[in-house]
Structure 1
Amino acid sequence: MTATTLSKIGEADLAWIAAERAMHAADVADDPLVLASAARSGTHALLATGRFEDALELGNAAAKYLEPRMREGDASALSLYGMLHLRAAVAAARHRERATANELLGKAEEAANSLGRDANYWHTGFGPRNVRLHQLSASLDLGDISDVIDHGPRVDTDGLPIERQVTHLIDLARALSLLAKDDQALQVLLSAEQKSPSLLRHSATTREVLRTMYRRAPVKKSSLLLALAQRCRAVNEN
């Protein structure tokens, strides 16, 4: 299981151990693509543990190794470069560094435009639509909730990796919940569960959103909300 996957299912400590080992192996291999891929996993692990400044530093440092290959128009380098900047942008947004986040998102968008399509080189799922999803995710972390609610449902995620689709739906549900639009948020989470029960149920963000919704729900027993909250281990009521 990769570091990225481990971080997605809540195993942050194991994710960082896996990422460290991958980066060490990549350093020995002396291949910028391998190193960038390992560093990308490392940013996932660092974000999962709240080490936003470290994630930002790692993403920026690894991206520099790819610049010579990018100038040659290498699609793999463009994809990894773009994803590293997207992960660094998320770190900056969570650290409330709006200008830095916007700058990094802009670099990722340039890489996506150069690539010219949604692709999956090195399992990145990188392309214009993935950039758009990260722009919305950063907007949410920066407090621009209405932007996510207004534009999030319009993004066509068909064909993107399931993990990216589910993460986007969780972001959208979180935004709806922040405005107390709980019925809509619940429907979005149920849609995410249909795409990947395991990704949804292991998401710490999902559990946080469900707990908030459950606390203010007027009717809790035998409800769709309670059932989903129990499946996600957000509440323990029988």
Structure 2
Amino acid sequence: MTTNLTIGERVAWYRRRRGLSQEVLAGLVGRTVDWLSRAENNRLELDRLSVIKTLADALDVSLGDLLAEPTLMDWTNESGTRTVPALRSALMNYRQLTPILGVPTEGEPTPLNDLRSNVAEVWDAYQDSRYGFATRRLPLLLADALIACRAYEGHDRERAHELTAMTYQSAAMVLTKLGETDLAWIAADRGLAAAQQSGNMVVTGSLFRSVAHCLLSNGRYDAAVQLVTDASGYLRSGLTNATPQFLSIYGTLFLAGSMAAARADDRQTTREFLAEADRSARNLGQDANYVWTAFGPTNVDIHRVATAGELGDMQIAVDLGPSIDTTGLPTERRTRHNLEVARALSAFNRVDEALTMVLQAESWAPEQVRSHYMARELVLSWVRNQRSRPSRPMAELADRLHVV
């Protein structure tokens, strides 16, 4: 119902639904009536999730309600006509959850090497921002992984649990990108359970990262910070003679934590988490993609920009962001960085430059740009605030993002 509204307009829409005056809502969030009026009328950009979350809490709605998430997933040649609902059915299929009901296992188990290749294919699609492809493949892959966990014994069963955990994690990551936060939480929770049965600390650490992302997407920033603190304590013993894989998942966990701390307006913890991630990146010594983390010095720099934006330090983001060379990183990382830089540029009314960044990101990853609230909000606010007709590139982008 509110897809074509800006975040500020959605705040006004829900405020009226709650029967609240501007004076009352402004008081609940510790702001002035003038500030709220400007936000609701698109004269002030609501570009910090910490602020948006405060408004959502006061209105008793979810963060996704104000971000217009989840979005409708477009049908593509890769997705077919069964997308998120099919994946929801797979995640909620009780027959796959427990053997105690005596439901027989259907089919022969997939050879573990084939299963590993299939898991890698979905993760690669995620990093290429091909969400339709990943969503289409995941229901069958989940079924195959769970059959493997029941069919194999000994070390092979542990390997099957590793692959099941990574399958659930890929589902959680894709669903988070699509704004399906509740489903993502189910997938991450199941994945962490499977990871613990595998006995593999790298896989367990990878799932901690996914749980942190799910807490982030649900607006539970303090809980995400605490998770990173607790999980890093559990993992710290592995830093002795750490492998590149371990350094990558350990450092990436702190990158997720830095975003949580920034959205919680905790500058000190943000700095500490970024410093810890930077130490892991320097020990790793290069940009790499172990366990599909895209971890290394460049990803740390990307998070310096993103956390600056979340803390409202747009000058830092606009100074540092454009200078970062992301060409060696996966599409998903490059695209996300472009959106952060576009947000910072837009804050200084450098709309033409910001539009160029979004268009470049769309050329790399149309599904990711279409599904991300930041791209939709930027383009919609630009169109709303144009004194004349928007340029053709802007108008056509707004049409492709379905925001007008």
TM-score bracket for this pair, using the shorter chain length: over 0.9
Give CA-to-partner distance per residue, 1:189-238, whole Å, 9 cap, x none: 00000111001110011111112111111233672212112211222xxx
Q: What is the 5 A alignment of 1:44-193? A: 44-193=213-362
Deviates more, 1:192-201 or 1:59-68: 59-68
User: Counterpart in 2 of 1:232?
Assistant: 401
- C-alpha distance in 2, partners of 1:120/1:65? 23
Q: Is the 8 A contact 1:66 1:81 kept in 2?
A: yes
- C-alpha distance in 2, partners of 1:10/1:233? 16
Give CA-to-partner distance per residue, 1:47-91, whole Å, 9 cap, x none: 111111121122222222322222213211111110000000100
Question: CA separation of 1:73/1:34 partners in 2, compared to 1, >3 Å: closer, same or farther?
Answer: closer
User: Counterpart in 2 of 1:39?
Assistant: 208
Letter in 1 for 2:321: G
User: Counterpart in 2 of 1:17?
Assistant: 186
Q: Is the 8 A contact 2:202 2:246 kept in 1?
A: yes
- C-alpha distance in 2, partners of 1:12/1:33? 24
- C-alpha distance in 2, partners of 1:234/1:16? 27
- TM-score if structure 2 supplies the norm length? 0.56
* Aligned sequence identity (%): 40
Letter in 2 for 1:158: T
User: Counterpart in 1 of 2:97?
Assistant: none
Q: Secondary structure at the match of 2:374?
A: helix
Could you tell me which runs of 5 or more consecutive residues in structure 1 were left unpaired when the two chains were aligned.
Answer: none
Letter in 1 for 2:302: L
Question: CA separation of 1:233/1:28 partners in 2, compared to 1, >3 Å: closer, same or farther?
Answer: same
- C-alpha distance in 1, partners of 2:261/2:343? 19
Q: Secondary structure at the match of 1:152?
A: helix
Letter in 2 for 1:172: V
Q: Secondary structure at the match of 2:388?
A: coil
Letter in 2 for 1:223: R
Letter in 1 for 2:207: A
- TM-score if structure 1 supplies the norm length? 0.94
- CA drift of 1:44 comes to 1.6
Q: Is the 8 A contact 2:261 2:270 kept in 1?
A: yes
- 2:194 maps to 1:29: no
- C-alpha distance in 1, partners of 2:225/2:270? 10
Give CA-to-partner distance per residue, 1:135-157, whole Å, 9 cap, x none: 11101111111111112111010
Number of matched pairs: 235
Could you tell me which runs of 5 or more consecutive residues in structure 2 were left unpaired when the two chains were aligned.
Answer: 1-137, 139-169
Q: Is the 8 A contact 1:60 1:84 kept in 2?
A: no
Q: Is the 8 A contact 2:338 2:358 kept in 1?
A: yes
- CA drift of 1:29 comes to 2.0
Deviates more, 1:211-220 or 1:85-94: 211-220
Q: Secondary structure at the match of 2:260?
A: helix
Letter in 1 for 2:360: S
Q: CA RMSD in A?
A: 1.4
Give CA-to-partner distance per residue, 1:15-66, whole Å, 9 cap, x none: 1111111011112223221111111111122211111112112222222232
**Bigger Rg, which one:** 2
Q: Is the 8 A contact 2:251 2:295 kept in 1?
A: yes
